[in-house]
Structure 1
Amino acid sequence: MANTLEFEVGAGYEVANPPKLAVGDDQHHQLSRFFTVLATDEHGVSVYDGWYGEGFSSLHLPHDVLAQLDVTRLPSRGEAGAADLANAIATSAAAAIERRDQVKEHGAAEQSVHASQRFFVQFFSGQIRGLASKGLINPDLAVQMISLSTGVELTVGE
């Protein structure tokens, strides 16, 4: 699937052979197994794969990179995005509560609260990145949610 005309904006894709990509100045990025197409142009496609290097939330895959990928479009799940998002929140909360209990066993109650809050933000951010990279929720929404939960400002860029 090397032709950008085959990619649909907003659709999720799975990559069977995700390569390491040169991004920025001597940075390497392992392309995620899943990505959502944000835009297509004459040079390739811009995708969201959950990467936030240098504060950017998207990267551009040129035609030569696309030609090397074994890509399959993920089936559309319709309204399942809301259920997946609710599940991500519930899973993150349950994991944070478990973390709080673990820390409480070995430290003060205040430490356990802070540890569970940090853990929730990290776990929830990972869940959101995963949903967005599979095209199940809007990547712009994911970036906003992660920025709000972590306090780190992210921008869409290449």
Structure 2
Amino acid sequence: MSKTELEVGAGYEVFNPPILEMQPGEPNHQLGRFFTVTALEDGGARVYDGAYDSGVSTVYLPDDIVSLLRFQKLDKSGETQFADLMTALASSAAAANEQRTLVAAHGTDKEAVDASHRFFTQFLSGQVKGLAAKGVINPNLAVVMTELATGVSLA
């Protein structure tokens, strides 16, 4: 594949995600199975793959790496974007309810509710990062949504 097949803002599924060497002193990075192209640059592409702890962090893929990737563009529409977001919310709520039930069996109701709230925000944050990596939502919007859900500033 080549960089000319990539489109800024589009999400892609990678069938052979490589381990990337980063700057000297930084650990290697396993490219995610999904990424969103944030910019095309001379000699490569900048992508967001959702694997970062804070803010929008991208990784640069030089043309020689892009040419080795086997990938396919993910289709998205307003309808599928909404459905994916609703699925993320529903699965986060279900996981939080399950967590509350587990904690309630061994603690107080207040502890169970607090644990449920924390678990919901953590789970939803992961879901939002995944949606951004798939190009369903803009990575910058993912940061804002995560900040709103958790109350923790990622900037």
* TM-score (norm: length of structure 1): 0.87
In 2, distance between residues paired with 1:15 and 1:115? 35
Query: Do the aligned partners of 2:56 and 2:143 also contact (CA within 8 Å) in 1?
Result: no
1:75 correspondence with 2:68: no
d(CA) in 1 for partners of 2:22, 2:153: 20
Equivalent position amino acid for 2:105 in 1: E
Check the 8 A contact 1:51/1:58 in 2, yes or no: no
Deviations 1:69-128 (A, max 9, x none): 111112233431112112211211121011111101011222212211121111111111
**Secondary structure at 2:137's aligned position in 1?**
coil
Distance 1:23 1:55 in 2: 18
Q: Percent identity?
A: 51
Unaligned runs of 5+ in 2: none
Cα gap change, 1:27/1:6 in structure 2, threshold over 3 Å: closer, same or farther?
Answer: same
Q: How does the TM-score come out when normalised to structure 2? A: 0.88
Q: What amino acid is the match of 2:126?
A: G
Give 1:127's aligned amino acid: Q
Residue matched to 1:57: 57
Q: What does 1:4-15 align with in structure 2 at a 5 Å threshold? A: 4-15=3-14
The residue number in structure 2 matching 1:124 is: 124
The number of residue pairs the alignment matches comes to 153
- Letter of the 1:14 partner, please give it: E
Q: Secondary structure at the match of 2:105?
A: helix
Runs (4+) of structure 1 exceeding 6 A deviation are none
> Which one-letter code corresponds to 2:86 in the other structure?
A
How many Å apart are 1:65 and its aligned residue? 1.6
Alpha-carbon RMSD across the aligned residues, in angstroms, is: 1.8
Residue segments in structure 1 that go unaligned for 5+ positions in a row: none
1:17 alignment counterpart: 16
Q: Is the 8 A contact 1:18 1:31 kept in 2?
A: yes
